[in-house]
């Protein structure tokens, strides 16, 4: 699944490590989600949305 | 540390699981040692024979608990995937070796049940390396 994590992260000048720390996951996990290798669970998607102050649909795009 | 669970989860797990795992692995190899040295007869032999697979089931339960303690769902999925492949690998080797042994093919020798753990760990390491690219 495509997502806008990289863009949202860049807008805030956060590194993957910064985001990982805020999400309480490893940097590798942030990279896996960002590159679309792993689709996060609903609770983690909500956590991301809350962190970026937006909605889940604004982060994750249902485009193959 | 990228390959370990979150710090809190790791500490919780160590406090609860680590001593128990030592006992379980000790039981596993201890049973083999008793069989090897004392050749027990029934009913002790049956009890001991049951104790070994039971210790493996307990070990599997601890592995699942360990995975569930991890709040990092990507790493959890990664390790679960690797554990599944390692279990499948161990089953495949066991079935194949048993088949060769039953029909006395390829000079298959009897292997101590204790070999199950090193074989599982070997498959786990290979699976972790093979799946790394997919999850990270």
> B122 falls in which pLDDT band (50, 70, 90)?
very high
Q: How far apart are the first and last CA of chain A?
A: 7
Pair (B97, B83) in one structural domain: yes
* Residue B87 structural domain: 72-136
Whole-angstrom distance, CA of residue A33 vs CA of residue B20 = 35
Residues of chain B contacting A39 with CB distance shorter than 8 Å: none
CA B45 to chain centroid, in Å, comes to: 22
Pair (B37, B66) in one structural domain: yes
- The residue out of B35, B70, B105 marking a domain boundary is B70
A29 touches chain B (CB under 8 A): yes
Across the interface, whether the CB atoms of A25 and B71 are under 8 A apart is answered yes
Q: The pTM is what?
A: 0.66
pLDDT at residue B112 greater than cutoff 80: no
Pairwise pLDDT comparison (A34 vs B4), residue with the higher score: A34
Residue of B74, B79, B135 to mutate, testing the A interface (most A Cβ within 10 Å of its Cβ): B74
Residues of chain B contacting A37 with CB distance shorter than 8 Å: 134-136
- The count of structural domains within chain B is 2
Pair (B2, B66) in one structural domain: yes
Contact present, A56 and A45 (Cβ < 8 Å)? yes
- The residue out of B70, B93, B118 marking a domain boundary is B70
The tally of CA atoms less than 13 A away on the side-chain side of residue A59 is 24
Restricting to B residues 1-30, those with a Cβ less than 8 Å away from any Cβ of A are: 1-2, 6
The 10s digit of each residue's pLDDT in B22-64 is: 888 888 788 888 887 888 778 888 888 887 777 778 777 777 7
A49 touches chain B (CB under 8 A): no
Alpha helices in chain B (DSSP H): 7-38, 44-69, 73-102, 116-135
- The residue out of B18, B49, B70 marking a domain boundary is B70
Pair (B130, B98) in one structural domain: yes
ipTM for this model: 0.73
Pair (B109, B131) in one structural domain: yes
Pair (B66, B76) in one structural domain: no
Pair (B134, B85) in one structural domain: yes
């Amino acid at each position: 699944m495509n997502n806008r994590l990289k863009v949202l992260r860049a807008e805030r000048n956060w590194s993957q490590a910064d985001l990982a720390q805020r999400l309480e996951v490893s940097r590798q996990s942030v990279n896996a989600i960002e590159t679309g290798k792993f689709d996060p669970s609903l609770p983690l998607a909500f956590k991301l949305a809350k962190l970026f102050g937006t909605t889940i649909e604004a982060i994750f795009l249902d485009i193959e | 540390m990228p390959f370990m669970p979150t710090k809190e989860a790791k500490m919780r797990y160590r406090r609860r699981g680590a001593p128990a795992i030592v006992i379980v692995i000790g039981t596993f190899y201890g049973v083999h040692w008793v069989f090897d040295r004392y050749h027990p007869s029934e009913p002790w032999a049956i009890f001991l024979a049951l104790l070994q697979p039971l210790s493996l089931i307990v070990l599997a339960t601890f592995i699942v608990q360990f995975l569930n303690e991890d709040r990092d769902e990507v790493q959890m999925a990664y390790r679960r995937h690797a554990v599944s492949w390692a279990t499948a690998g161990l089953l495949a080797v066991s079935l194949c070796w048993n088949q060769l042994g039953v029909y006395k093919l390829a000079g298959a020798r009897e292997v101590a049940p204790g070999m199950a753990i090193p074989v599982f760990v070997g498959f786990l390491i290979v699976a972790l390396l093979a799946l790394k690219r997919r999850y990270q």
